[in-house]
Amino acid sequence: MSSPSRFERQARFAPLGDAGQARLEDARVLLVGCGALGGVLAQSLTRAGIGRLVLVDRDVVEVTNLPRQVLFEDRHAREGTPKVEAALESLERIGGPTRFETHALHLDADHLTTLAQGCDLVLDGTDNLATRYLINDYCVREGVPWIYGGVVGAGGLILAVRPGVGPCMRCVFPDPPPSGVLPTCDTAGVILPAVGAVASMQAGLAMRLLADPAKFEPALIELDVWHGDVRRIALPRAEACPCCGRREFPFLEAPAADTAVSLCGRNTVQVRARGQRPDLDRLTERLTSTAQDVNRAGPLLRFAADGFRMTVFPDGRALIEGTEDTERALAIYDRWIGS
């Protein structure tokens, strides 16, 4: 238990109290995504005194992140720092009892099953639907609560899911919409006040779920910070829901994702290692005489070649910047990094 004085005013809030604060400090939370929503969530929960925070994000910091992703600085963007590392650096400066665990990786079903072990709650700080449907499948199957958050433009949605008590995400949104149908931050833009409002609502619901889950009634919350609108929509579980009703988990049980995936609005393709992981020390040596701007920055290797910029992670995953063509990215990966 931390020093009583640190959380004295927080614990004076009657619905939380000393008992609720103690439960927060005993909790283990998985946060998927350390960018816009994830940054505000991580900061809020760290300051609230969450016991352990497990952070996972596959990306590196870019300059376009800085207007809305609160844990990052100019130098993180210049250096292409992995988001989980930059987040950890910022969060550790806060101090307090929270312990951190970081993973710079693409979250698939296997990783989720491992990282969510022993977690009391999963938080959505992502920017893609595929990962959210994966999280929903896992949490419903295992009975772990999770909180969805989505933001575009000046508005967003929040849904806290308590498996077996209220609706899951597929009760509300049974299937992912076709690509390109919904507006995204890249097509409609996004402003930090909307990010902060959605993530703060998620963080408040997270504290309540962890401190006093018995009295929690899930609902879909819609807000718009530009017009000052907030709407709470009580929704029942859908009896015919394929996930929490029929116990079907296709997103969790699907074959492994494609080796190459184009990242929305980034002009970047993520390529996952298909064979043995590359030896980054030897790869750095080899590239020094053939590629440009070769830079070994901590666990990452960054370089330029053939008009593309590449970032290689220790697990062999790479971000190929300068194309949305997955086949082209695979060819570049094989040529410069190896299959």
State the catalytic residue, choosing from 34, 119, 185, 244: 185
Cα–Cα distance measured from residue 274 to residue 87, given in angstroms and rounded to the nearest whole number? 29
264 is catalytic: no
**CA 128, 330, 130 angle in degrees (round to 5)?**
15
Cα–Cα distance measured from residue 97 to residue 46, given in angstroms and rounded to the nearest whole number? 8
Q: Report yes or no: 80 and 60 within 8 Å, Cβ to Cβ.
A: yes
Radius of gyration, alpha carbons of the chain: 20
The edge-to-edge listing of strands for the beta sheet with 229-233 is: 99-103, 52-56, 28-32, 121-124, 146-152, 155-161, 220-224, 229-233
What's the sign of the alpha-carbon dihedral 87, 88, 90, 95? positive
| Residue owning tokens 């049974």 | 174
Which residue numbers are catalytic?
A: 185
